[in-house]
């Protein structure tokens, strides 16, 4: 009996093997080797791991003289901000104004402002302007800003104002004209946006605009707020909306959620993109437990902005008490370029990544630290006679962008920035019966 042949080491000679299997094996092995080489190449090009960079402490302000400052709007935020003015050391608080007597007295008692310099009713702003103050901080519901700020600039005062600068496009244009006049008359004008003052955000923006990022592709901004509770039918009055931040429930008084809250994320996006959009489209809704006729502020929105540069900008916002799963920051702009990406935020961390660079830094106490930085800048600009007022153009663009998104989403139709400005729709609220 013939012995069976010795097994061959040649794959083609083995049972079940043929030319196709042989070639497939070679191709598979080659592909695997190529894939392994690619993995090694990718690993070699991976950005360096960023260690968190802690910004150095900020220097104490240098005080060369005292500036007399007044406040219009003694609510929760206004009374807090004017205390920071006093704590800065370069300001003397000389006058206070608010519609409500209890608000102005509480703030006046805390700051030891003479009772003769505490003013009330709708005309309180006029009396603060005429009080002998050199500068005025306007921290009222946004509906009043155009009227109040224009009066302050016309009186020759330095102006510090909260955001948003207005609730409609005509109001934005009035603020822009007032700021231009302030510069012409050598007066300072600062709009209190905090996100662009943070050192980590500044560092990320610098990298985003550098060569490692490539052309900007798309941006996503967020305004994920927790709302503030619903209002009841009996509370739908101008006087109620002026109390305790309730103006956020009224489009006419506060501009809507996208304009008064989400604007921080939108402003961060424009800070990086460097231009305002030419058009927007989207949708929004009022999600409350009662008829929308009581509360017209939209609690959910989604907007897509278009830019001449081709950048795609998506904005998502909410004002709901749903305990949303938190983003790295609920107010932020995530920016994606062709070869790099990053995020500037109102809290948490600011980060950047590209093939050969990585950065991460903390964004700490921006609500308070940002205001302190802005107050310090306002002081330096006044004493150094710096009337360039660089915060205003972007504040105008950011507010117009938020308003464009609001109006486009409200109408559920594409709207251009030119149409928004040309139409010039005013948002009005009935002040009948209020003390003048």
Question: Using one digit for the tens of pLDDT, what is the confidence trace for 100-121?
Answer: 999 999 999 999 999 999 999 9
Looking up residue 258, the CATH number of its domain turns out to be 3.30.360.10
Residue 83 domain-assigned? Answer: yes
Identify the segments of the chain with pLDDT beneath 50.
Answer: 1-44, 291
67-72 and 135-138: which strand pairing? parallel
- Model pLDDT, residue 229: 61
> Is the peptide bond preceding residue 164 cis, with omega within 30 degrees of 0?
yes
Q: Which pair of tokens denotes residue 391?
A: 């915060």
Residues 138 and 211 in one domain: no
* Of 157, 191, 225, the domain-final residue: 191
Per-residue buried b or exposed e for 329-356, using 16+ beta carbons within 10 Å of the residue's own CB: bbbbbbbbbeebbbbbbbbbbbbbbbee
Question: In terms of domains, do 253 and 367 share one?
Answer: yes
DSSP code for 22 = H
**What per-residue confidence (pLDDT) applies to 58?**
87
Per the CB < 8 A criterion, the answer to whether 166 and 175 are in contact is yes
Look at residue 40 in the predicted model and tell me its pLDDT. 44
My answer on whether 325 and 395 are in the same domain is: yes
pLDDT of residue 325: 64
- Helix and strand numbers (H, E) in the chain are 14, 15
For position 145, which CATH number holds? 3.40.50.720
Please report the pLDDT score of residue 258 as a whole number. Answer: 96
Instruction: Look at strands 312-319 and 348-354 and give their pairing.
Output: unpaired
Please tell me whether residues 141 and 289 are part of one structural domain: no
pLDDT at 380: 98
Instruction: Indicate whether 11 belongs to any domain.
Output: no
Beta strands in 296-414 (DSSP E): 300-306, 312-319, 331-337, 340-345, 348-354, 357-363
In a domain, 26, yes or no: no
d(CA 3, CA 7): 12
What pLDDT does 34 receive?
44
Over residues 386-396, the pLDDT tens digits come to 999 999 999 99
Q: How many domains does the chain have?
A: 2
Q: 158, 174, 191 — which closes off a domain?
A: 191
Q: pTM higher than 0.85 for the full model?
A: yes
Last residue of a domain, one of 191, 212, 235: 191
Three-state DSSP at 366 gives helix
First CA to last CA across the chain, in angstroms? 122
Flag whether 1 is in a domain.
no
- Establish if 3 belongs to a structural domain: no
- Rounded to whole angstroms, the Cα distance separating 251 from 391 reads 24
pLDDT value for 237: 81
Give me the domain span that covers residue 305: 196-379+386-423
Q: Other CB atoms closer than 10 Å to residue 4's CB: what's the count?
A: 6
DSSP, collapsed to helix, strand or coil, labels residue 138 as strand
HSE-up of residue 66 (Cα within 13 Å, Cβ side): 11
Query: Hunting for tokens 């998104």 — which residue is that?
Result: 405
| 324 and 363 share one domain | yes
| Residue 61 DSSP symbol | P
The SS3 of residue 348 is strand
How far, in Å, CA of 242 to CA of 140, rounded?
8
Assess if residue 237 is contained within a domain.
yes
In this structure, the chain runs to a length of: 436
Asked if 114 and 228 sit in the same domain, the reply is no
Cβ count near 37 (within 10 Å): 10
Residue 294 structure tokens: 């009581």
Residues 178 and 258 in one domain: no
Whether 345 maps to a domain, the answer reads yes
155 and 205 in one domain? no
For 8, 19, 20, the CA distances from 23, given in Å and listed in that order, are 18, 6, 5
**Are 187 and 216 in a shared domain?**
no
Q: What six digits make up the tokens of 110?
A: 């805390």
Instruction: Return the residue matching tokens 């948003």.
Output: 164
CA distance 193 to 405: 19
CA distances from 364 to 96, 346, 348, 393, 410 (A): 30, 9, 7, 26, 35
| Parallel/antiparallel/unpaired status of strands 135-138 and 158-161 | parallel
| DSSP at 54 | P
Regarding whether 121 and 231 lie in a shared domain, the answer is no
**Considering the domain boundaries, does residue 172 fall inside one?**
yes
Yes or no: say if 401 and 305 are a contact pair by the CB < 8 Å rule. Answer: yes
State whether 216 and 116 are in the same domain. no
Residues 409 and 314 in one domain: yes
């Amino acid at each position: 009996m013939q012995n069976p042949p010795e097994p061959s080491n040649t794959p083609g000679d083995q049972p079940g093997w043929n030319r196709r299997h042989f070639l497939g094996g070679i191709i598979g092995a080659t592909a695997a080797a190529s894939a392994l080489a690619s993995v090694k190449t990718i690993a070699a090009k991976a950005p360096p791991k960023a260690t968190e960079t802690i910004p150095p402490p900020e220097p104490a302000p240098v005080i060369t003289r005292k500036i007399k400052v007044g406040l219009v709007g003694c609510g929760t935020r206004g009374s807090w901000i004017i205390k920071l003015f006093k704590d800065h050391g370069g300001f003397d608080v000389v006058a206070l104004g608010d519609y409500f007597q209890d608000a102005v007295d509480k703030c006046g008692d805390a700051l030891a402002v003479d009772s003769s310099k505490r003013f009330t009713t709708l005309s309180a702003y006029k009396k603060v302007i005429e009080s002998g103050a050199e500068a005025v901080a306007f921290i009222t519901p946004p509906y009043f800003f155009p009227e109040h700020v224009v009066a302050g600039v016309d009186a020759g005062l330095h102006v510090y104002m909260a955001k948003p600068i207005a609730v409609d496009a005509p109001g934005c244009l009035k603020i822009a004209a007032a700021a231009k006049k302030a510069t012409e008359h050598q007066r300072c004008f600062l709009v209190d946006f905090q996100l662009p003052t943070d050192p980590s955000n500044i560092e990320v923006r610098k990298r985003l605009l550098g060569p490692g990022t490539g052309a900007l592709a798309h941006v996503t901004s967020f305004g994920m707020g927790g709302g503030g509770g619903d209002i009841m039918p009996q509370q739908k009055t101008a006087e109620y909306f002026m109390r305790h931040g309730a103006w956020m429930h009224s489009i006419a008084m506060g501009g809507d959620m996208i304009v008064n809250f989400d604007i921080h994320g939108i402003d961060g996006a424009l800070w990086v993109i460097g231009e305002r959009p030419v058009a927007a489209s989207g949708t929004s809704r009022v999600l409350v437990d009662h008829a929308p006729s009581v509360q017209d502020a939209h609690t959910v929105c989604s907007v897509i902005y278009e830019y001449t540069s081709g950048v795609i900008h998506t904005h998502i916002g909410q004002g709901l008490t749903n305990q949303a799963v938190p983003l790295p920051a609920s107010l932020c702009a995530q920016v994606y370029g062709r070869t790099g990406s990053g995020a500037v935020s109102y809290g948490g961390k600011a980060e950047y990544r590209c093939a050969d660079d990585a950065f991460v830094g903390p964004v700490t106490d921006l609500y308070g630290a940002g205001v302190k930085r802005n107050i310090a800048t306002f002081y330096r600009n006044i004493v150094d006679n710096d009337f360039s007022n660089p915060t205003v153009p972007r504040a105008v663009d950011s507010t117009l962008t938020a308003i464009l998104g609001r109006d486009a989403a409200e109408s559920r139709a594409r709207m251009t920035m030119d149409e928004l400005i040309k139409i010039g729709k005013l948002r009005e609220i009935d002040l009948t019966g209020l003390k003048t």
